Amino acid sequence: MSDVTPRLAVQKTYKLYIGGRFPRSESGRSYQVSDATGRFLANAAMASRKDVRDAVVAARKAGPAWSGASAYNRGQVLYRVAEVLEGRRGQFVDEVVAAEGLSVGTATSLVAAVVDRWVWYAGWADKLAQVVGSSNPVAGPYFDFTVPEPTGVVGVVAPQSSSLLGLVSVLAPVIVTGNTAVLLASERRPLPAISLAEVLATSDVPAGVVNVLTGRTAELTPWLAAHMDVNALDLCGLTDTALAHAAEEAAADNLKRVLRPSTADPDGRAEPDWSAEPGLERMTAFIEHKTVWHPVGI
């Protein structure tokens, strides 16, 4: 007799992504994630302050090698992300449909745009310095040039609504220039971020360059904003203006560079149009310009 029991699907445990590993929250907490219709999808890890700090340590540790890699190398790594993602488009279409309630057709073109965004940013790795750097004609016998360098560890609050395209659109510009990132995924739609972390973990992105936390945005943002070893913040995903204000204030304690939440509409609620070509802004927000002088003479 054949077995008539239908096969039971193997469900994935969605964990954090810190230092190239997938740990649970040290707090042991998790929270329920539902799809757009309210159906239970999974229990996501609910990261704690300690997880934020562990992620910052991992990001700091990864900094020297990643920022010291050649721009050509970083470009290839980002392109590799696109390659690996391309082969897993189906999985991400399912995830985006579940998370955002899109039709399969819309989600399919959205995931294609995600792959293409990695390719777009990959190409910037070895070009940005030529566009934003300069040779400076000073009035004296000196050779003087200005080059962009990464700011360091960047805390990123990912968009709340666009769980994959928005996420990639804020993450790729941070790391392409050599920064390392601690990213807070969308609170209600965190699962695509963790699946993306699986792609990053298998795409030659060195451990610690990207760290992904899931949990309560309002709980985690203040710790990230006040952390003295974080150099910059992208507050994109903060829809609560009071929280954004407080984060910017906390950021002043060590003069973090702050990219404020987008103000696509007067309330600051709408997210940017993620389908549009990004421009340089999200890259240039997290670089420092270094000017070097040397005398000319014999």
Footprint on this chain of other proteins (rule: CB under 8 A):
131-132, 134, 136-140, 142, 144, 146, 151, 231, 241, 244-246, 248-249, 251-255, 257, 260, 263, 279-280, 288-295
Closest distance to other proteins from the beta carbon of 136 (Å): 5
List, in order, residues 6 or more apart from 249 with CB less than 8 Å away: none
* Closer residue to other proteins, CB minimum distance, 202 or 254: 254
How many whole angstroms separate alpha carbon 162 and alpha carbon 186?
Answer: 8
Q: How far is the CB of 155 from other proteins (least distance, A)?
A: 15
Closest to 195 in 3D by CA, of 48, 66, 44, 51: 44
| Least distance in angstroms from the C-beta of 267 to other proteins | 13
Strand, coil or helix: what is 96? Answer: helix
Of residues 17 and 124, the one with the C-beta less far from other proteins: 124
Closest distance of CB 273 from other proteins, Å? 16
Q: Which is nearer to other proteins, 190 or 237 (CB)?
A: 237
Closest CA to 60 of 194, 227, 215: 227
Shortest distance, position 281 Cβ to other proteins, whole Å: 8
Rounded to the nearest 10°, the torsion over CA 197, 200, 202, 204 is: -150
The CA-based angle 123-126-131, given to 5 degrees, is: 95
Beta bridge partner(s), residue 221: none
Minimum Å gap between C-beta 183 and other proteins is 22
CA distance 209 to 13: 22
User: How far does Cα 126 stand from its chain's mean position?
Assistant: 20
Q: Enter the tokens of residue 13.
A: 């445990």
| Shortest CB 288 distance to other proteins, Å | 5
Q: Which is nearer to other proteins, 75 or 152 (CB)?
A: 152
* Cβ-based nearer residue to other proteins, 20 or 222: 222
Are 48 and 85 spatial neighbours (Cβ–Cβ below 8 Å)?
no
For other proteins, which is the closer residue by CB, 148 or 159?
148
Query: Rounded CA gap, 248 and 226, in Å?
Result: 9
Q: 180-184 and 153-157: which strand pairing?
A: parallel
Rounded Cα distance between 160 and 260, Å, is: 15
Nearer to other proteins (CB atom), residue 12 or residue 290: 290
